Amino acid sequence: MTFKKENYYTTVSQAKDLVPGFRDSFSRFEERVVLNRLSKSLVTNYGRNIAHLALHFGRQPHEVSPEEINTYLYRKIEHENLSASYFKQTVFGMRFWFRLFGKDEHALVLPVIKKEKTLPEVLSKEECRMLFKAPRTLKHRFLLAFAYSAGLRMNELRHIKISDVDCDRMQVRVRQGKGKKDRYVILSKFIKSRLAHYLKEVNPQVYLFEGQTPGEVMGERSIQYVISEALQKTTIRKQVSMHTLRHSFATHLLEDGVDIYTIQHLLGHVRLETTLVYLHVAQVIPKVGRSPLDSLYGF
C-alpha cells in the first residue's frame, strides 16, 4: 500500500483530532526536527506513517509496544502489499519517535533495515550530450548541464544563487548542502563560457534557476519534469533522475583520472566508503604498481 504526499496533512490532522495527546506529541516531534536542524522532509516522510500507526491503534505511538508494531508491519506486508519505502519510513520514524520520548530500548528492538547494495545508474558521456541537447528551452538545457558539471544534489542545485558562481576562481559555492555544510565545487569552463548569455536571456533575479515567481527557487517537481521531458526526446532507456547526473559526474571524473579523495570532497561525502562505490562502475584500467625505489633513482 502506498500513500501520496497529498494525504500527509489529512492523515496527520485526523490523528491530532482522534488520538488523545497526539497533537501535543506531534508538536514536540516537529520542534525536535527543527532544533536538530534536520530536513523538513523528515517531518513529512516520518510524520505521515507515524500518524497512520497512531490512527490504527488509537493511541500515541510511544504507547504502542514494539511487538504490536512488528505485528502491524507484518500484516501490512502480507495482506496490504506494503511498499518497501513505506516499511522503511515507518521503522525509521518510530525509532526517532521512541528515542524522543525516552524509550531507547523500544527503538533497538524494531526490525533491522538492511541496506541494499545496488550500483548506481550511470549515463555514458554520449548519453549526457544527447540529454543536454534535448530540451527546447535554453533554461532547461543549461540546468541539466550545470547539474552534471558540478555533481550537485537536487536541493543544492535549486538553491545556487547567481552570486555563488565565482568565474574568477572557477568555483561554485554550495550553501548548506547535505549535513548542513557549505562546500565549493568546480565551475566548468563550458558553463562559464555560456553563463553571460544565459543570464541575459533568462534573466534570473536571485537564484540561478528560478520558478515562475522571480526571486523564488525552482520547485523539485519542475526539475523532475525537465528531466523526464528531455528523456522522451532521446533514445536513452535508462531510469534517469537528477541523482543520475551526479552519479555520472563522479564516474566520469574517475574515468578521467581524478583521484577518489578529490571526488569525495567534490561530492560532499562524509565517508569515503560512499564514494568508493564508483570504483565498481567506472571503466578504469588498473595501473601496474611500481617500487618507490625505482622512482627514487630514476629507473
Question: Could you tell me what percentage of the chain is helix, strand and coil, using 3-state DSSP and rounding each to the nearest 5?
Answer: 60, 5, 35
Whether the CB-CB separation of 121 and 238 falls below 8 Å is answered with: yes
Of 218, 200, 201, the closest CA to residue 209 belongs to 218
Residue type, 7: N
Report the C-alpha gap between 76 and 83 in whole angstroms: 9
- AA letter at 284: V
Q: Identify whether the C-beta of residue 123 lies closer than 8 Å to the C-beta of residue 244.
A: yes
For residue 159, the 8-state DSSP code is T
Backbone angles phi, psi at 220, to 5 degrees: -60, -45
Which residues belong to the active site? 153, 178, 243, 246, 269, 278
- What residue type is 271 in one-letter code? R
Q: Which amino acid is at 259?
A: D
| Measured distance CA(277)–CA(247) in Å, rounded | 10
Q: What is the dihedral of CA 44, 49, 54, 56, to 10 degrees?
A: 140
Beta pairing, strands 165-166 & 183-186? unpaired
Sign, CA dihedral 65-71-77-81, equals: negative
